[in-house]
Amino acid sequence: MNIAVCVKQIPDPATPYELDDANHWVIRPEDQVLDDTDRSGVEIALQLAEATDGTVTLYSMGPSGSLQGVRQALAMGADEAVIVEDEGLKGSDALTTARILAAAIQQKGFDLVVAGTESTDGYTGVMPQMMSEFLDVPCLSFARKVDAGDGQVTIERQTSTGYDVVAAPIPALVTVTAGIEPRYPTFKGIMQAKSKPVTTMTAADLGVSQDATQVIRSVEPVPAREAGEIVEDDGEAYQKIVALLEDRKVI
Amino acid sequence: MGIWVFAEEISGAPSPGSLELVSKARDFGDVSVFYVGAGSDEAWAALGDHGATAVSHLDTGSTLPSGPAAAALAELVGDASVVLFGMGNTDRDVAGRLAAKLGKPVVANVLDLSVDGAVSVKSEILGGTKAVTTEITTDGPAIVVTRPKAFTASPSGGTAPAVTTVASPDSGRAGAAAITEQHSEDSDGPSLEAADVVVSGGRGLGGAEKFEMMDELAALLGGAVGGTRAVVDAGWVPYSYQVGQTGKTVKPSVYIACGVSGAMQHLVGMKGSNTIIAINKDPEAPIFSVSDLGIVGDLHEVVPQLIEALKARA
Ligand SMILES: Cc1cc2nc3c(=O)[nH]c(=O)nc-3n(C[C@H](O)[C@H](O)[C@H](O)COP(=O)(O)OP(=O)(O)OC[C@H]3O[C@@H](n4cnc5c(N)ncnc54)[C@H](O)[C@@H]3O)c2cc1C
């Protein structure tokens, strides 16, 4: 099975994010990391590829920088990566991102596309669904478990009350939650990742252009909630909780 | 013109989020609802009571709704100013597909909107640390995905809306996904979203069996139990317990976080609570920055003591 996995390089979430003053875009350093949400997608793709003697190709849009994040996914075991990088794509919204990634994936063809449910830095949370429309495939979303074989993909889809089992013929697109435990790259994997093929493309190569559809009027800090009393437990701290519950009239 | 609200049927009724959206949409004129599910007179009455004047009803049966629902909506909303969605999984699926069909952008994580000629929205980014005001500059419907509880569901006393049955469109390969089994993991007690007290457990609990302690505490307070994504991913509790950006948003009177670090994706779902109490052994845990009362200590000592004290009062 030929599997395409969408991955995103993001600024290390442990560092505070800065926005540039002119456009309010997230400032992206040279060294970006693989979005944690994508690790589960890479893991699922690797498992399915191993079971079917298939291939795993990574697709990513954004400034490649040092490629650190993409190499992290290659080190897990993906075969190759395609990056779409273009000055003109800076500040793209989910719709443009979906057009670009769908066009890149279409060029090589696919049986299954795997994506996370949303990125950690932008979290619009609808990009994979848009991509599925551009690729004209069903979108099996919010999967906490994925099985594929015999031309069919089956998932357990999270719902607000439990989960549904959903099945569709291949080709299809799947979005995965973090319920799937990703593997750690091995030392060998890290070494091999350095020489795996990474192809770079521009929007023009794909015949896609960005259309400005929204204007940011202002960005303001949200007032932080004020921290209250912090106490070290001395064996009696539970009484403070009881007193507060009384005060708030819940007991 | 006009405004549309997407409503998914959950447990036989319009999703709670859809009633919040219908209530808000009244501010901007006549509200049409696109309803996906089996449908019932009670559902139409609830929608009408919150201000819907018309309902287009699509029953997708055992087909995953996103393909057919997006195809049908695309035919209906051509000259609408706004199509409102919640953050539910099906809401997001339909919003994304619809946007791609129409070639329109989606604005997400929206907390407020105004429709005054132009459509302008306020949303939170970067884990809710910054608020952005965005104006949508395309013609045709603005597709807006709102955060749960951004608006309050308030009955207007409206009468039953006019209901039109929508024929299932041929959505081709997009509609080729079938639901073959449904599993409900409902819990007892009040629902997490409606509960006045939420007791929430994180990885600091140390194991699935420790959620019994959370159940006991919640029962004593007449509350519901929630959890972080870490404990859901670990399989300790079902996804229906998850509070946060990719789970439920709660605004109870009191939120008690036990062994929860307070990652920004968790805070987004609970920082609107009236009073926040946290128990964590790490004095640097970010949860303390939003807590009204923070106990730096071992939850395995503090929680049992709290339970005993509450039992003694009962
Ligand atoms: C795109 C995306 C979406 C996400 N969505 C969500 C979401 O919806 N909801 C969500 O919750 N998370 C979400 N997350 C995950 C989030 O980033 C955190 O990883 C998660 O919230 C951490 O859960 P935790 O607090 O249980 O675990 P940890 O971060 O591991 O924290 C455990 C805490 O327990 C404390 N502890 C340990 N032992 C004890 C003890 N004996 N007594 C007291 N305290 C103790 C520790 O000090 C620590 O602070 C999301 C992440 C991403 C990338």
Is the model's pLDDT at A220 over the cut of 80?
yes
Condensed to tens digits (0 to 9), the pLDDT of residues B197-226 reads 999 999 999 999 999 999 999 999 999 999
pLDDT digits (tens, 9 = 90+) for B270-294: 999 999 999 999 999 999 999 999 9
A140 touches chain B (CB under 8 A): yes
pLDDT band at B137 (very low <50, low <70, confident <90, very high): confident
pLDDT of A21 reads: 84
Q: Evaluate: CB of B51 within 6 angstroms of ligand 1.
A: no
Give the Å distance between the CA of B231 and the centre of ligand 1. 8
Name the average pLDDT for chain B: 94
Q: If residue B219 lies in a helix (H) or strand (E), which one and from where to where? A: helix B211-221
Instruction: Answer yes or no: is the C-beta of B276 below 6 A from any ligand 1 atom.
Output: no
Chains A & B: contacts with CB separation below 8 Å: 280
**Packing angle of the helix pair A94-108, A127-135 (nearest 10 deg):** 40
CB-closest option in A95, A214, A251 to B313: A251
Q: How confident is the model at residue B187, as a pLDDT?
A: 67
Q: Does A136 reach chain B within 8 Å, measured CB to CB?
A: yes
H or E segment to which residue B198 belongs: strand B197-201
Confidence of residue B140 (pLDDT cuts 50, 70, 90): confident
The pLDDT value recorded for residue B116 is 83
Beta-carbon separation of A230 and B290 below 8 A: no
Give the number of residues written for chain B: 314
At A153-205, the pLDDT tens digits run: 999 999 988 899 999 999 999 999 987 889 999 999 999 999 999 999 999 99
pLDDT classification of A134: cutoffs 50, 70, 90: very high
Does any CB of chain A come closer than 8 Å to the CB of residue B11?
Answer: yes
d(CA B308, CA A239): 11
Per-residue pLDDT tens digits for B15-61? 999 999 999 999 999 999 999 999 999 999 999 999 999 999 999 99
ipTM above 0.90, yes or no: yes
Dist CA A20 CA B66 (whole Å): 36
The yes-or-no verdict on residue A227 having pLDDT over 90 is: no
Q: How far is B283 from chain A (nearest CA, A)?
A: 8
Of A120, A130, A172, the CB nearest to B96: A130
Q: Does position A46 have pLDDT exceeding 70, yes or no?
A: yes
Mean pLDDT, chain A, integer: 94
State pTM to two decimals. 0.92
User: Is there a contact between B52 and B39 (Cβ–Cβ < 8 Å)?
Assistant: no
- Which amino acid, one-letter code, is at B85? F
Euclidean distance between CA atoms B285 and B259, whole angstroms: 10
A127 close to B (CB below 8 A): yes
pLDDT at B17: 94
Burial of B91: CB neighbours in 10 Å, binned 0-12, 13-18, 19+? buried
Average pLDDT over residues A20-36: 90
**Cβ(B252) – ligand 1 distance below 6 Å:** no
Give yes or no for residue A226 having a pLDDT over 90: no
**CATH number for the domain running over A2-206:** 3.40.50.620
Residues in chain A: 251
Task: Taking residues B149-177, report their average pLDDT.
Answer: 95
Which of A129, A169, A228 has the CB atom closest to B293's CB atom? Answer: A228
Query: Where in chain B is CATH 3.40.50.1220?
Result: 197-313
Rounded Cα distance, A19 and A240, in Å: 41
Show which of residues 210-249 on chain B sit within 8 Å of chain A, judged by CB atoms.
221-223, 229, 232-233, 235, 238-240, 245-246, 248
Residue with the bigger pLDDT between A30 and A14: it is A30
CA B265 / ligand 1 centre spacing (Å): 9
The helices-and-strands tally (H runs, E runs) of chain B is: 8, 16
| Nearest partner of A170 among A195, A148, A203, judged by Cα | A148
Torsion sign, CA atoms B160, B161, B166, B171: negative
SS3 A32: coil
Question: What was the pLDDT predicted at A176?
Answer: 95
- What pLDDT score does A20 carry? 87
* Greatest distance between any 2 Cα atoms in chain A: 67
Tell me which fold the domain B197-313 belongs to: Rossmann fold (3.40.50)
Q: Answer whether residue A210 shows pLDDT above 80.
A: no
pLDDT computed for residue A88 by the predictor: 87
| Residue ranges of domains in chain A | 2-206
CATH of domain B3-175: 3.40.50.620
For chain B, residues classed under CATH 3.40.50.620 are 3-175
Residue of A nearest to B242 (CA): A160
Closest residue by CA, ligand 1 atom 43: B280
Ligand 1 in reach of B67 Cβ (< 6 A): no
The sign of the CA dihedral B45, B51, B54, B56 is: negative
What pLDDT is stored for residue A28 in this prediction? 92
173-212 in A: which are within 8 Å (CB) of B?
177-179, 181, 212
